[in-house]
Amino acid sequence: MKMTQTKIDQMSGILFLLFGIIIWIYTRNFPDLEEGYPGPALFPRLIGSGFILGGIILVITPFISSKVTDDSDEKSHFSLLNLGKLVIGLFITGLYPFIQPYLGFIGSISLIGFAIGFLLNVKPWLAALVALSCTLIVYFLFTYLLGVPL
């Protein structure tokens, strides 16, 4: 799937516009200061307004700009297969808080490092070697040399 930068800008403009509106809606129940002056909602709302303004400009810029885009515009390529690999990478890393209490620091980090290496097409023995040695070095450095508990 290919997409021009102009299209990406317009799509992100719409997303930021919606995001700004969501911030305004989310903050409607935030309390005010005494005498009705704005309180904790003020800053998020100002930021939300910034998103709305920025989003609108991103959406309308291609229409008011004299530059002809579509054909000459840089195209970005989106691949569903690679996106799947990305999700797997996120899933693997996200396992750390779950497996650390059971496997400990060395076991869990080595396992994650190995899996990430495998995902990056590194030979399994090399991925295991790098993951384990890196984990051991980090563990020694943090725990014994720098006194930071892991």
Binding pattern for the stretch 39-58 against another protein, x by CB under 8 A and - elsewhere: xx-xxx--x--xx--x--xx
3-state secondary structure labels for all residues of the chain: CEEEHHHHHHHHHHHHHHHHHHHHHHHHHCCCCHHHCCCCCHHHHHHHHHHHHHHHHHHHHHHHCCCCCCCCCCEEECCHHHHHHHHHHHHHHHCHHHHHHHHHHHHHHHHHHHHHHHHCCCCHHHHHHHHHHHHHHHHHHHHHHCCCCC
- Closer Cβ to another protein, 15 or 70, answer by number: 15
Find tokens 């309308």 and name the residue: 60
Q: Which of 4, 6, 8, 14 binds another protein (CB under 8 A)?
A: 8
Binding pattern for the stretch 126-145 against another protein, x by CB under 8 A and - elsewhere: xx--xx--xx--x--xx--x
Which two tokens mark 34? Answer: 């005494």
Contact between 107 and another protein by CB under 8 A: the answer reads: no
Contact between 111 and another protein by CB under 8 A: the answer reads: no
Q: Can you give the binding site for another protein, defined by CB under 8 A?
A: 5, 8-9, 12, 16, 23, 26-27, 30-31, 33, 37, 39-40, 42-44, 47, 50-51, 54, 57-58, 61, 76, 79, 82-83, 85-86, 89-90, 93-94, 96-97, 100, 109, 112-114, 116-117, 119-122, 126-127, 130-131, 134-135, 138, 141-142, 145-150
